[in-house]
Each structure stands twice: as C-alpha cells, then as structure tokens.
Amino acid sequence: MTSRSPLPHLPLSRLTVALLAAGYLLAPWRLSDFWLSVLIYGGIAAIGAVGLNLLTGYTGQVSLGHAAFLGAGAYTAGYVGVDLGWPLPAWLVAAALAGGALGALVGPAALRLRGHYLGIITLGLVLLAQHIFQEWNALTGGATGRPTTLDASIAGVDFNELTVLGQPFTREQSWFWLVWALTGLAALAVANIVRTRPGRAMQAVRDREVAAEMLGVSVTRYKIGAFVVASALAAVAGALQAGFQQYVSPSEWSLLLSIQFLAMIIVGGLGSTTGAVLGALFVGALPHLIDELSAGVPWLAGEQDSLISVFALNQIVFGLLIVLFLTLEPHGLAALWVRLRTHIARTPRWHALTRRRTG
Amino acid sequence: MEQLLQLLVAGLALGARYALVTLGFVVIFRATGVINFAQGSLVLLGAYLTYQFAGPWQWPFLLAAITSVIACGACGPVIERLLLRRMVGRPAFAVIMVTLGLLIVIEQAVPTMWGQDPKNMGDPWGIDTVQAGAVTVAVRDLWTLGLTALAIAGVFGFFRYSRYGLAMRATALDQEAAQAQGISVRRVVALSWTIAGAAAALAGITVASGEAGVSPSISQIALAAFPAAILGGLDSPYGAIAGGLVIGVSQTLTAGYQPDHAAWLGDNFHVIMPYVVMIAILLVRPYGLFGTREVERA
Amino acid sequence: MTTDKAASTDTAASTDKTLTPDKAVTTDKTVTTDNAASKDKTVTGDKTQTGDKPGRLDVSALTLRFGGVTALNEVSFTVEPGELMAVIGPNGAGKTSLLNCLTGVYRPQTGSVRLGAVELAGRRGRAARAGVARTFQNHGLFTGLTVLDNLLLGRHRLTRTGIVSGALWWGRARGEERAEREHVAGIAEMFELADVLHEKVTALPYGVAKRVEFARAIAMEPKLLLLDEPVAGMGFEETVAMAGHLLDVRERFSCSVVLIDHDMRLVMDLADRVTVLDFGVVIAAGTPEQVRTDPKVIEAYLGEEE
C-alpha cells in the first residue's frame, strides 16, 4: 500500500524514466538539427520554468522579473566564459551564483509587498535591468549586444565540437545532450526540494502565512530562499541560452520573456515540476509549430499582402492560451494529462486490450 | 529657471495623461481588488478607434473622440464579464496573468488591423503655442490638462454626489456590508470597468493626437502609469492623480537634466525613472503615499 | 542568555518524549488565582523566589486596541506547567485576540506574555521556537497539502533539512524524511487519521480537519498548547472524541493547555482553572465551580442569550 511507503516518490514511474532516458539518448540521432535546436531552447526554458514554478507555484510569490535574472546569467557567463575564457563549469557556476545573489537582493521585497504590488515591483525590475544591460557597454556591448561564444568544454569534452569514438556530432546534437542533462538535474533538484522539509515550508507560506509562522516556519527564510533558487536557475538558463546562441542583446531580456515564463508554468500547471517542463516545451515549440502550420496557409505566409504576420499570430495565440488556460483549465497540461490517462484507463476497450496483452 | 518651468509644464501635461490611466487602475482596484494590466490595451484601442473615425471615416474630431471613449467604456465591463468574473477568489498572480494575456492579444490585434506604421490624426488641437512669460506652452498640452481636469472632476463628482458613486465607495470599503445594504456589487464592478475603459481611451486620444501620432507603442504609457498608481496608493483616487503628476514631472525633469548632470545613468534614463521613483517611495511607505495599510496585506 | 539555552536543551529533551521535569509541578493545583479585577497582580510565592519559572505562562496587564476599540484591557493570568486553563466568554469577548497576542500575531499596546523567561508578545516566529503550538478557529491547515504534509509541517521546528540538502536528497535529508514520516504516521494512528493520511485537507469533513490540526499541534511536541474553539461546530460524538484526545495528550505529553471556548460545557469538565473574559476584561477567574456560580459570569452569558 502507498500509505505504508516510508519515502516520498517522484511522480514518475520507472517506465516513464526508462522512456525518457531512451528518448534522451536517441533523439539526437532521429531528429533534424532544426528540431533539436527547438528542443534545446525548450530544455533551457524548462530550467528557468521549474525555478519560477518553485517561486510562484509553490511559494506563491508573483514575479514578473524572471527575464532580468536570465539576462544577468547570460552576461555573467559572457564575462566569465569569453572575457576570462574559463570553461563550462566555471561560467555555469558563476551564473548561478550571480543569479542567486541578485535573487537574495530582490527577495526581501517579497517580505513587505504582496500580490499585485510585488508584481509591479518585479515588472520594474525587468525594465531597470534592461536599461542597465543597454548602458553597461563594457559588459554587455550596449544595445547591439555582445558575442557569447562560450567555451563549452567540461573535463576535456567539448560540446561545441563533440567527438565520441571518432564519430563527430553536430553542435545541436551535443548541446541537446548537455542541456537536457542539466534540465534533468534542475528538475530533480526542485522536485527534491518540494517533497522535503523546505518545500513543505514554502507551500505552507503560500497557503497560510500566519499559520506557517505558528509552526516555526520562517517566512523570511523561505520567501528569500525561493527567490534565490528561482533566480539562480533563471541565471543558469540565461547562461545556457547565451552559450547556445553565441550572441546576446539586451532586447531579449524583456517583459515579454518574463510573461512567457509565467505562461509556461500556467500552461503546464502551477505547482507541478513535470508541468513546468511540459509547459516550457509547449511554449518554446509553439512559434515553430505555428510557423510549420502556417506555411501552407496563403494569407499567413508572411508576405506583404498577408492578413496577419506570423509574429503577431504567435503573440495572439500565446496570449489567448494564457487567458484560456487560466479561465478554463487552471491546473494546466499536467491536469489535462492526468484526466486523459484516467479516461483511457476507464475506457473498457483499452482495459480489455491491456488485459489481453498481459494475460 | 525658464527651462525648469518649461519642463514642469510639460511634466504636468504628461502626468495628467498618466493620471487618467492610473485613475482607471484605482477605480477597478477599489471595486474588485484587481490591477488591470490590460489597461494599456484600452489606451491603444481608444487612440486607434479615434483615428479610424476621424481619419478614414472623416468624422468631426470631437464626435470621433467621444464615440471611442464610449466604445472603450463599453469594452471594460465586457472584459470583466467574460474573463475577470471567472477569476474571483483566485490568487493575485493568476488574475494578473489573465489581464497580461489580454494585453498581449489586443496589443498585437490592433497593429494587425491598422498596420505597424504610425498614423497621423492631424492636428485637432492646432499646433499653436501660447507664450506665458518666458514659458512656451503647446496648446495641445493645455487641452490635455483641461480635458483631464474635467474628466477627473467628473469622476470625483460622480463618486461624491451620485447614488452609484456612494455605492462604489461603500463597496470599496466593505463589499459584504455593501451587499447587505442592497447595493448591487456586480453593477458597481461593471461601472468601475466602464469608467476605467473611458479614462484609458481619453488618455490614448490625448497621447495620439500629439506629435507622437498614433502608433502601437502608445500602450507603453500604461507601463509608466503602474508606478504612478503604486506611488499614490492603489486604493486612493487622489493618490492616482498625485502619483500621475509626480511621475510625469519627474520624468520630464529627468529627461531635461539627467543627460547633462548625470550622464553616467545612460541614455533614456527618463523611461525607467517612474520605477526608480516608485522603488524609492515603496522602501519608505510600502502602501504608497495615500494608500491605506490594509492594501499591503491584501 | 542562560535561560534561552535552558529552553533549547529542554526542547531537545522533549523530542524523545521523556517526561519533562515540569510534570512534577502539575499536581500543585493550589496556586492562587489572580483576582483579575484588582489591577495589581497577586504574585505567587514561586515567582518571588525563582523569578521566571520554566514552562510557566505569565500573561500580565495585556492591553490591545484596534483604533478606538479596546479588544483586551489589562488582561492578566498565569498558567502553571501542565495545567489546563480555559478562557471562556461570550462572542466578541476578545478570546481570539488574546490567542493572537500570546502567539505574537498581534502586538499588544502594553503588557507582556512570558513563557518561562521568553517574552512572546509582539514577536511572530518566537512562539513556535519557545515551544508553543496553536490551532485556529476555522482551522489553520494548509489547503493545498495532504494530511501527511500538514502533520510533517508540525515537525518543522524539530527537523533540520535545508534547501540545499533537500535539493540534493543527500545525507540528512533522506534519513530525516524517513524517520519523520514514520513518526508522523504514529501520530496519525493516535488521532485515527491513518486512513486519510494521503488526502488533501480540502477533501476532509470539518470535524476531521479540526482533528488534523490538533494532531499537527501535537506533532510539534509543545510545552504549551493553545486551542481556539477545538470543538466549535462539532456534533456530540465528535466533541466527546476530541475531549478524549485532549485528555490523552495531556497524560502523554504533560504540556500546559490554554483552551478557548465559547461553550462552557466542555470546559467545565476538562479545565483545572477558568478565566472568563467579557468585552476584553477578565470578569472572573478560578476553578470551574467558582466560576460557574459567579454572578458576573452568569450575567455575561445571560446577556448574550437575549
């Protein structure tokens, strides 16, 4: 019985883990470089999304400032990886530390301000950060941006030119392995926090702050802690994005990016780490899906006489998704998935099918 | 000195536009506890509708402006009815996101309908300037100030003297008690959204009829109006006006002096000045200049 | 701060459920009740000799105002270690305000709340650290979490896993998690909650939720337990069961209890002493028998019946 199980399990069955592992290993052989890069961006976004989900979904703190931390991570990585020329572990860790430190600086705002107020303050953070990114020429290259051709080698393995047993891999193939390994680690770390003492404390703060304090939960520690973890992960995501793109400019770290991250955790389902990953993939892949689908539609093709630009269509679909998910399916893809699964399990035909197979 | 006065006047005119948007935030927040991040999209809609009426359709400007104010006023309650009413009791974050989602949709839908390139609404106010001593004031700015003052006086008068105004104030104080008194909270909420929509449209018209013209970027005005609302205190209509003016003036002063005196802050620092002012004030007073303490706990 | 150290070692000792030395004192029920009407508090013999007695709750001259309304006016009483003090009073008498002052949620304008040597008034996180557990009137459970998680949160103060070790699922995190889950399962057993351990608390009937909250408070291994209307809205059977749990807990853990209730029936059977509040003022204090026959109490309650 589950009630007897002494330890909390991750919400993934062994079968799922095996399938994921197989997908991880095999995908680079089966997919084109284009779709691999879509997945790489999805994986990078997922790292930021699981962090934001810890802050917003589990600790209940609104943040429109996520983009600022991504940017901070990207420029830290640029400085450490290009200007100093240090290898991958160094710029990743430096980005995480810088992001965490900034989070610790901003986090205390959450102690004094709630809900809408915190939302607007963090909105201000994005605008302030973007201004700094534009003006700090020495670090960021100003408004036009800077190259971030980071050294992507760790222990002698270079992910920019990966060669295993004499076989060379494309940059997309190698980065897929690199990014998704890190995504897996990030998701696992957050899932671990959530199922142990600190995660429970964060959820207690989210649900009832006073009651949490009465149990000895330090609201200060967990609110700021959640900010630190979330911004450290955002900075790692920013660093990876910089590394993969090899060039970053300030306009990337915009309010829209923050909103996209919030959309990921909403679409995925607030307070679900799996959901955050799914949401990141979905939101990341959406523009490309729209691109593919709209290629066949004449008035969408992006030509002069088209009714609507692909970019505008993207944004509108994206905005509608946020609105529709929130008003119609607040628990997101994660809930849809669970419902689909129970529905399938209850369908007699499927039942019979599985029984025949096992029997 | 002349420059200072000049900047102050320009700042007040700019602040008046912010005040209109901010007033919309406050009216909705008082009635429902929601900040409508989509307010900027109504500013945009108001401006483009006026352009459509006055430009291609050749209506008289005044008629065009009034019609689009009414149209945006009508949009408010529709948004509330279709989206926000479903969100009652949900966390602040979710509500913010719904209005943000709406903002994205409208911000893209408008240029899709009318195109990305700026439109010219003509010069409904004339391009004259008035000389007052050493200070030159654009007639357009005077119109903006006058119209804003009129609109704000109208809203305040409505709050104070009409039956619904009283109901709105009662609802802002205590929704349950108001309901017990036989006040229809739904109607009050709808009314708040109407006022907010109309005020946003008016703000849009005053921005768009100026030198900037009608362009998709005018919804940006709402970005500066957020700090104005926070500054004044989200639940205080007087604060909305004061916050708007403070932000407007501080922005023009920054634009006027910062490039010479604090160049290290970088170009376009005035754009983020509202947020700098807001953060500075919030560090001292977390519930704004005129807000009540309860708001902080909400 | 030697007294603080003493308190913390005390906490450590209580983790392994040995009876605290305070137990010996519980038999001493002859302590004089403060005559609350007189503002100069009678000082008990103990206090003059030893100063702050460990484990004793000493509330003195507590005054709390909201704007012009005085919610509590010069409220004083003491609760000896192991004692069950009931605070009763009609609706709006200030009972919940009193609990909020005792736990630092409200900051009283004047007066002090001391548990042993620790001042609790106006300091939010301190109550829990000093070994105070409380329940809320309409239960203070975390609605997004399961019964198990809520109970584990009761163990928060007694456990150590931090964000980093939790994230790594390494070292202390794993062992502590396992041990705590077993421990909490035992508590759930005791409160007949084993069947609902994995349910979300929103799915529970009201009475069960109240029981979960009580169990969570007990999981904290408190020295002082503050219960805000633990049987409000419960039927007869549930009330009896809850009273049974309360007796059980007192016997096993020997904590002091402040029980707030609107209703006199439960209180009269369980309490060692009773303090009666009306409009924020202590109008009577003493043993249940003394209070029951006090004309002021009768008047206060009669006034409410109308």
Residues of A in contact with C153 (CB under 8 A): 200-201, 204, 212, 215, 217
A264 pLDDT exceeds 50?
yes
Answer yes or no: do A312 and B276 touch at CB < 8 A. Answer: no
Q: How many structural domains is chain B composed of? A: 1
| pTM (predicted TM-score) | 0.86
Residue C140 lies in a domain: no
> Which residues in chain A have their CB less than 8 angstroms from residue B232's CB?
none
Q: Is B85 on the interface with A (CB under 8 A)?
A: no
Range of the domain at B90: 2-126+134-297
Token match 């997101």: residue? Answer: A332
- Find the CATH number of the domain harbouring C282: 3.40.50.300
Rounded mean pLDDT, B143-172: 82
Closest CA to B18 of B216, B227, B291, B197: B227
- What's the Cα-to-Cα distance from C52 to each of C58, C107, C241, rounded to whole Å? 9, 22, 36
Confidence of residue B149 (pLDDT cuts 50, 70, 90): confident
**pLDDT of A354 higher than 80:** no
C10 assigned to some structural domain: no
CATH number of residue B55's parent domain: 1.10.3470
Verify whether the Cβ–Cβ distance A229 to C167 is below 8 Å: yes
Specify the higher pLDDT residue, B272 or A54: A54
- What's the number of domains chain C is made of? 1
Residues of A in Cβ contact (< 8 Å) with C144: 203, 206-207, 271
* Chain A neighbors of B278, CB-CB under 8 A: 120-121, 124
Residue C296 resides in a domain:
yes
Across the strands, what pairs with C133? C225
Q: Which chains would you list as touching A if contact means 3+ CB atom pairs under 8 Å?
A: B, C
The answer to the question of residue C279 being in a domain is yes
In a domain, C217, yes or no: no
C197 vs A3, A207, A216: nearest CB: A3
Lowest mean pLDDT among A317-326, B138-147, B238-247, C251-260: B138-147
3-state helix, strand, coil in chain C (%, to 5): 45, 20, 35
Average pLDDT over residues B32-60: 88
R_g over Cα of chain A: 21
Residue C144 lies in a domain: no
Strand, coil or helix: C9: helix
Which residue from A212, A213, A229 is facing C163, i.e. has the nearest CB?
Answer: A229
> Which residue is associated with the tokens 């005054």?
C63
- Beta strand pairing status for A247-248 and A146-147? antiparallel
Q: pLDDT tens digit string along B47-74?
A: 999 888 888 888 888 888 899 999 999 9
In a domain, C70, yes or no: yes
| Chain C hits for A229, Cβ within 8 Å | 163, 167
**Residue type at position C174:** R
Adjacent-strand bridge partners of C70 = C65
**How crowded is residue A246: how many other Cβ atoms within 10 Å of its Cβ?**
14
Amino acid in the structure at residue A234: A
**Is B96 in CB contact (< 8 Å) with chain A?**
yes
| Residues counted in chain C | 306
- Strand residues in chain A grouped as ranges (E): 146-147, 153-154, 157-158, 163-164, 167-168, 247-248
> Are A128 and B286 in contact (CB < 8 Å)?
no
Q: Tell me the pLDDT tens digit for each residue of C268-285.
A: 888 999 999 998 999 999
d(CA A117, CA B278) in angstroms, rounded, equals 11
DSSP state of B214: B
Reading the block at residue C120, the tokens are 């609790």
Q: Per residue in B121-136, pLDDT tens?
A: 766 776 677 777 777 8
Residue A168's DSSP bridge partners are A163
**3-state DSSP assignment of residue B38:** coil
Separation in Å, CA of A45 to nearest CA in chain C: 20
Say what the pLDDT of residue C153 is: 95
Distance CA A173, CA A159 (A): 9
- Residue % of chain A over a pLDDT of 90: 52
Q: How many other CB atoms sit within 10 Å of the CB of residue A342? A: 10
To test the contact with chain B by mutation, choose from A53, A120, A132, A313 the residue with the greatest count of B C-beta atoms within 10 A, namely: A120
Per-residue pLDDT band at A5 (split at 50, 70, 90)? very low
Domain of residue C272, residue span: 32-131+225-230+258-306
Start-end of H helices in chain B? 2-32, 39-54, 61-82, 92-114, 139-161, 163-173, 175-180, 185-208, 221-232, 237-261, 269-284, 294-297
**pLDDT tens digit sequence for A25-46:** 998 889 899 999 999 999 999 9
For A175-189, write each residue's pLDDT tens digit.
999 999 999 999 999
What's the whole-number average pLDDT of chain B?
83
How many percent of chain C have pLDDT more than 90? 40
Smallest CA–CA distance from B288 into chain A, residue:
A117
Phi first, then psi: give them for residue C36, nearest 5 degrees.
Answer: -70, -25
- How far A3 CA lies from chain C's nearest CA (Å)? 7
A309 contact residues in B (CB cutoff 8 A): 112
Average pLDDT for chain A: 86
